[in-house]
Structures are given as C-alpha cells and as structure tokens.
C-alpha cells in the first residue's frame, strides 16, 4: 500500500485557497474589486509578501485580474480561464463535483477520447501497438492493486500518443490532474475487470486498424463510465439536498 507524503499548506496556499473558495461559492462576484494588499494583509494577519505572491498565483489561474495602479478585480473565470483554472476548480471541489462541472467534463472527455481512439487506429505504429498490448497485460496484473489507477491512465495516454498528433498528448498532459481525480473516483465505483475488458477491446480495434470500431468502443466505454459517475454524484447531491 502506498502512502502519500504529508505536506502542510503554506500561508500563501491558505490565502489562495480562501480566495478561490469565496469566488467559486459566489461570495466574491466577477468584477468586484478586492481590498488592496495592505488591507488584505491586515485583515488576514499575514505579510504583504504572502498576499502579493498569492495574488500573482490567483491571476495566473484567472481568478483575479490585476490592473496596474488600479487594483485587483475578480475575474470571470469561465469566460477567461485556462487549464490552471480547471485544475484549481477540480481541487476545490474534490470529489464533490456539481452537475454542471461533471457533465461538462464528461462531454469534453467523450469528444476527445473517441476522436483519439479513431485516429490511433489509423495512425499507430507497430512499436506503439506493442506498447499498448504490453500495457494491457500490466493492467490485468494490477486489477486488485492501487497501481491500477496509474496503469489505466497510462493506457489512455498511449492512445493519445498513437494518434501521431503532436497536440493531443499535450492536451492530455495538461488535463492530467483533473483526469486523475475523476478516474480515481470512478475506479472506486466500478469493477476493475470491466475497465480491462473495455480497454482490451479498444486496443484490439486499434490493432486491426478498424477506426470506426475503435471510435464506437471508446464511446461505449466513456458512456458507461459517465453513467456510473452521474448516478453517483446525483445520489450524493440528493443525500445533501
């Protein structure tokens, strides 16, 4: 069993997390001006350097917009956000996705995964196919272990690489953290053997260069996983409701 390193959040991280939470919960609205750094430092009882560094991180995540000589304003993070915004959003929500975020993420993943499965069947090299088949064998051996999460994610990444497209793997890498969070939750809800079976069939279609079958099988796999996640989160929200 693997144990994660215990790391205490810094004061800057706590500041960033508090502002992110206030924005995501609606306590701070888009367009609203934040107090200046001196006032924030006074209210939160931390140094101005902590506030300054935290504000820069919030700006990088598109949660605030810093206007020189005017101050900092809450940004419209949906309209102007980036991958850092999404990662922060997933971190903040943890496993408690709201339906809008969950459905948006599922729709995005369905479109991208099916496109890449089809493209992989058309463009994979013999070496990439060998690597995919070897990885499935590793996945089968890892069914009852915590390694299964890492191996299942690795297979999807290999499919993206097998497209021959230079951008798709970079997109996958950019979304690694939210993908990890969602997949981790999914694997707590499904039989791992089902994941192995579905991915094995997809790779068989890729081996046979059957692009349409690879697309259809991946869509089937993503839809099954989406239904399970949707049911879980709807039940979770109902219990809290």
pLDDT per position as a tens digit, 110-151: 999 999 999 999 999 999 999 999 999 999 999 988 899 999
For the chain, give every residue range classified as CATH 1.10.10.10. 11-81
> Quick one: CATH architecture of 94-240?
Up-down Bundle (1.20)
Q: What is each CA distance from 132 to 27, 35, 124, 151, 153, in whole angstroms? A: 47, 53, 10, 11, 12
Whether the predicted pLDDT of 98 surpasses 60: yes
CATH of domain 11-81: 1.10.10.10
239: pLDDT confidence band, cut at 50, 70 and 90? very low
Query: What's 73's DSSP letter?
Result: E
- Global pTM value: 0.76
- Percent share of the chain, pLDDT over 70: 91
Whether residue 241 has pLDDT greater than 90: no
- At residue 4, does pLDDT exceed 60? no
- pLDDT for residue 202: 98
Residue 44 in tokens = 């939160």
The mean per-residue pLDDT over the stretch 78-92 comes to 82
CATH 1.20.120.530 residue ranges for the chain:
94-240
């Amino acid at each position: 069993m693997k144990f994660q390193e215990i790391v205490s959040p810094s004061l800057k991280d706590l500041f960033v997390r508090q502002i992110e939470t206030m924005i995501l919960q609606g306590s701070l609205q888009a367009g609203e001006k934040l107090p200046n750094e001196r006032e924030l430092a006074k209210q939160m009882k931390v140094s101005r350097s902590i506030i300054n560094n935290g504000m820069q991180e919030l700006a990088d995540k598109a949660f605030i917009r810093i206007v020189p000589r005017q101050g900092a304003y809450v940004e419209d993070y949906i309209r102007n956000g980036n991958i850092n915004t999404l990662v922060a959003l997933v971190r903040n929500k943890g496993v408690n996705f709201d339906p809008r975020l969950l459905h948006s993420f599922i729709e995005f993943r369905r479109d991208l995964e099916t496109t890449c499965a089809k493209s992989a069947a058309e463009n994979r090299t013999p070496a990439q196919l060998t690597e995919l088949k070897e990885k499935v064998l590793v996945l089968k051996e890892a069914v009852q272990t915590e390694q299964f999460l890492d191996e299942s994610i690795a297979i999807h990444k290999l499919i993206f690489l097998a497209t021959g497209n230079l951008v798709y793997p970079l997109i996958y890498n950019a979304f690694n953290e939210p993908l990890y969070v969602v997949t981790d939750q999914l694997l707590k809800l499904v039989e791992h053997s089902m994941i192995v079976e579905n991915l094995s069939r997809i790779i068989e279609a890729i081996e046979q260069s059957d692009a349409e079958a690879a697309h259809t099988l991946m869509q089937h796999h993503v839809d099954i996983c989406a239904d399970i996640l949707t049911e879980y989160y709807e039940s979770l929200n109902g219990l809290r409701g």
